[in-house]
Amino acid sequence: MKKIYTRPNALKDTHFHYCPGCGHGIINRIIAEVIDELGLRGKAICVAPAGCGMLIYNYLDIDTLESAHGRGAAVATGIKRVLPENLIFSYQGDGDLAAIGTAEGFHAANRGELITVIFVNNGVYGMTGGQMAPTTLKEQITTTTPSGRNPVNAGYPVKVCEVFSVLDGTSYLERVAVSSPANIKKTKKAIIKAFQHQLNRTGFSLVEILSPCPTNWKMSPLEAFKWIDEVMTKQFPLGVIKEVK
């Protein structure tokens, strides 16, 4: 019998701890598939964040480092400069990359560091219980915006890809979503593209992934997928934001 679906080699044989319907598990698996398909298991090094994605090091069977909250891009810079032949990627949430780690991400991008950032945008601080993130939508209710995010007090949702796109050091920026089988396929393609930009030494690459957090959004997994497609993508349009050929 032909095997058509199996656990990727780069994924450990263990259970995910993520909440039901969470996007991190899907994204972890996609990364493992890409590492297998590109034959990168011996070359890849992952920098894990502080955030729900932190435990990615329990799932990916590759070398991993856990960074302090927000410092992923700086740590990845240090690793990449020492090991220029390796594939280095940081895995970061929206709080991690777009709030506390803004400076590190922005300047790694501006230096054109040959690293890839897998940026998981779920619109909230998942790990700490669903507080407002820099990417929280206007009027969106979180535990720290109990009557909805009001830009007068709390600012506007940050479009990371668009901000990074004006930096000359960036070479591949794409926004995708893990909200449907078709979108999951596109996410995988985007990660492959970003890794190739790194391996071809074109510049800094980042894939922003709109990802469901049903627990903190107080939705069912299906409602969460629908909310990404119908609401989140209005603020965060999908597609390639920048590609340097």
Partner 1 sequence: MKRLMSGNAAVGEAAILSGCTCYFGYPITPQNELTEYMAKRMPESGGIFIQAESEIAAINMVLGASVAGARAMTSSSSPGISLKQEGISYLAADELPAVIVNMVRGGPGMGNISPAQSDYMQATRGGGHGDYKTIVLAPSSVQELADIVPVAFDLADMYRNPVIILGDGMLGQMMEPVEFEHIKKTKDYPKDYILTGAENRPSRMVRSLLFDTKEEEEHNWKLFRKFQRIENNEIRYETYLVEDAELVVIAYGIAARIAKGAIKRLRQESIKAGLLRPITLWPFPYKQIRELAKTINDFFVFEMSTGQMVEDVKLSLEGRGHISFYGRPGGVIPTPIEIARIISRHYYKSQKVRKS
Ligand X SMILES: Cc1ncc(C[n+]2csc(CCOP(=O)(O)OP(=O)(O)O)c2C)c(N)n1
Residues in the site for ligand X, rule: CB under 6 A? 50-53, 69, 93-96, 120, 122, 124-128, 133
**CA–CA dist 45, 80 (Å, integer):** 9
CB of 145 to ligand X, least distance (A): 14
**CA–CA dist 45, 63 (Å, integer):** 5
CB nearer to ligand X: pick between 110 and 128? 128
- Type of residue at 20: P
168 within 8 A of 112, measured Cβ to Cβ: yes
**Which of 7, 32, 5, 38 has its CA nearest to residue 192?**
38
CB nearer to ligand X: pick between 144 and 165? 144
* Interacting partner of 76 out of ligand X, partner 1, none (Cβ under 5 to 8 A depending on kind): partner 1
Could you tell me the sign of the dihedral formed by the alpha carbons of 125, 127, 128, 130, in that order? Answer: positive
Any residues with CB less than 8 A from the CB of 34 and at least 6 apart, and which? 40, 188, 191, 192, 195
Any residues with CB less than 8 A from the CB of 192 and at least 6 apart, and which? 34, 37, 38
CA 176 to chain centre: 10
* Interacting partner of 62 out of partner 1, ligand X, none (Cβ under 5 to 8 A depending on kind): partner 1
* Interacting partner of 42 out of ligand X, partner 1, none (Cβ under 5 to 8 A depending on kind): partner 1
CB of 103 to partner 1, least distance (A): 5
CB of 125 to ligand X, least distance (A): 4
CB nearer to ligand X: pick between 40 and 52? 52
- Residues interacting with partner 1, by CB under 8 A? 41-45, 47-48, 54, 57, 60-68, 71, 74-83, 86-87, 103-104, 106-107, 111
CB nearer to partner 1: pick between 57 and 227? 57
CB nearer to partner 1: pick between 105 and 123? 105
